[in-house]
Amino acid sequence: MHSFKYKSGRLKCESVDLAALAEEHGTPLYVYSSETIISHYRRLDKALSDLDRRICFAVKANSNLGVLHLLAREGAGFDIVSGGELYRVLKAGGKANTCTFAGVCKTEEEMVQALNAGIYSFNIESEPELDRLNAVARRLKLKAPVAVRVNPDVEADTHKYISTGKSENKFGIPLSRAEEFYARASKMPGIHLRGVQMHIGSQITKPTPFSKAIRKMLPFVTALRRDFGIESFSVGGGIGIVYEQAIESGAANWWKSSHSGCMTLEDYASVIVPSLTQTGLKILFEPGRLIVGNAGVLISRVHYIKEAESKTFVIVDAGMNDLIRPALYESHHDIVPVIKRNGAKFQKVDVVGPVCESGDFFAQNRLLPTLRQGDLVAILSAGAYGAAMGSNYNSRTLPAEILVDGQHAHLVRKRQSFADLIRGEYVPKLKK
Ligand X SMILES: *Cc1c(COP(=O)(O)O)cnc(C)c1O
Residue closer to ligand X by CB (options 29, 290) is 290
d(CA 338, CA 298): 11
**Minimum distance, C-beta of residue 311 to ligand X, in the bound complex (Å):** 33
Residue closer to ligand X by CB (options 28, 238) is 238
**Minimum distance, C-beta of residue 237 to ligand X, in the bound complex (Å):** 3
**Minimum distance, C-beta of residue 366 to ligand X, in the bound complex (Å):** 25
CA-atom Rg of the chain in angstroms: 23
Residue closer to ligand X by CB (options 239, 376) is 239
Which phi and psi (to 5°) does residue 283 adopt?
-105, 125
**Minimum distance, C-beta of residue 40 to ligand X, in the bound complex (Å):** 11
How many other β-carbons are positioned within 10 Å of the β-carbon of residue 342?
A: 5
**Minimum distance, C-beta of residue 290 to ligand X, in the bound complex (Å):** 6
Give the bridge partners for 408, in sequence order.
405
Q: Which residues bind ligand X (CB under 6 A)?
A: 58, 60-61, 79, 102, 199, 202, 236-239, 286-290, 384
End-to-end CA distance of the chain: 59
Which phi and psi (to 5°) does residue 161 adopt?
-75, -15
Active site residue 56: no
Residue closer to ligand X by CB (options 104, 218) is 104
Catalytic residue among 13, 56, 262, 356: 356
Instruction: Give the dihedral sign, CA 343/345/350/354.
Output: negative
User: Catalytic residues, which ones?
Assistant: 356
